[in-house]
Amino acid sequence: MTEVELTDIVVNYRRRGSGPAVVLLHGLAEDHHSWNSVAPYLGSFTTYAVDLRGHGRTTSGRGAGTLSQLGDDLIMFLQAVTGPAAVVGYSLGGTIGLQAATTAPDLIRHLVVVATSSVVGRAAAGFFAARIAQIESGDLTGFAAGLRDDTALQIVTEADLDSLAASRVAAVGDGHGYVNAAMAMIGIRAVPLNPLLSRITAPLDIVGADRDVFCPRRASDIIADAVPHSRFHEIAGSGHLLSVDRPEAYGRLLARLLCEAETR
């Protein structure tokens, strides 16, 4: 593991492999470990699996609760560690990648967003607000139970739910990073991301799962409609947590998309 100091946070990340640089951004309530089942398929690249602000071993700093701050975190990481690189973002990480690609197109050579949404509806905002309230009230037991229930809805295959949920609770730590990121997602209801997506110039691949109830096909279509040069790819037999349900299909697809981008 390696650390780099970026303004108000110390970012923890794991570097693997050799070849062109690829930055991997996990989802909400995860950390760099969530890429462990996918990384073996990306050996032709130097991957940098980053712990997002307040997740895993990355410090929370002065969280502003905005997507623009999380996007700036990515931009600063690219500037300080990798230089221009491909970015693969899952769920929250994909939304962060979209944000950064609208403001620093020269730093993101290729963007892959997986199980990602660029809009937040009323129900989703209420979900985030409820989880924030649990953490801020000190009800971490209730939060952990809720996170376990959320995790169960994100998988469609047999998995060790208790172990998976425990790893996600551990990634959240004291909850400050979760609250910050959840506030950022709520914030795009008031400050929409979609009108900015036409600024994206990097090749954009959108990956969805056919049984994802959190980011269904419509979420991918909204992004694709805003970025005409994008491509959509679907993985069958998976819920939201593709790295759990279909790690081989997921890893092989990412490897193919990243290789194709290198030859364009």
DSSP 3-35: EEEETTEEEEEEEESSSSEEEEE--TT--GGGG
Q: Does 132 have pLDDT greater than 90?
A: yes
By C-alpha distance, which of 134, 68, 122 is closest to 95?
68
Q: What pLDDT, on the 0 to 100 scale, is given for residue 212? A: 98
Q: Kindly write down the DSSP assignment for every residue of 117-185, as one continuous string.
A: -S---HHHHHHHHHHHHHHHTT-HHHHHHHHHHHHHHT--S---HHHHHHHHHHHHTTSHHHHHHHHHH
Q: Kindly write down the DSSP assignment for every residue of 60-127, as one continuous string.
A: --S----HHHHHHHHHHHIIIIISSEEEEEETHHHHHHHHHHHH-TTTEEEEEEES--S---HHHHHH
Q: Are 209 and 115 spatial neighbours (Cβ–Cβ below 8 Å)?
A: yes
Which residue shows structure tokens 């000190």? 138
Q: What pLDDT, on the 0 to 100 scale, is given for residue 1? A: 85
* pLDDT digit string, tens, across residues 185-219: 999 998 889 999 999 999 999 999 999 999 999 99
Q: Does 133 have pLDDT greater than 90?
A: yes
What's the one-letter identity of residue 138?
Answer: G
Q: Does 264 have pLDDT greater than 80?
A: no
How far is it, in rounded angstroms, from Cα 247 to Cα 228? 28
DSSP letter, residue 51: P
When pLDDT is averaged across residues 10-38 and rounded to a whole number, the result is 97
Chain centre to alpha carbon of residue 176: 17
How far is it, in rounded angstroms, from Cα 223 to Cα 197? 8
Q: Does 86 have pLDDT greater than 90?
A: yes
Give the model's confidence band at 243: pLDDT under 50 very low, under 70 low, under 90 confident, else very high.
very high
Q: What pLDDT, on the 0 to 100 scale, is given for residue 263? A: 86
Q: Give the bridge partners for 113, in sequence order.
A: 89, 206
Of all residues in the chain, the percent with pLDDT exceeding 70 is 100
CA distances for 216 relative to 122, 176, 204, angstroms: 16, 28, 18
| Beta strands at 85-90 and 46-50: parallel, antiparallel or unpaired | unpaired
Q: What pLDDT, on the 0 to 100 scale, is given for residue 254? A: 98
Q: Does 15 have pLDDT greater than 80?
A: yes
When pLDDT is averaged across residues 219-223 and rounded to a whole number, the result is 97
* pLDDT digit string, tens, across residues 32-66: 999 999 999 999 999 999 999 999 999 999 999 99
With a threshold of 0.85, does the pTM exceed it? yes
Q: Does 98 have pLDDT greater than 90?
A: yes
Q: Does 113 have pLDDT greater than 80?
A: yes
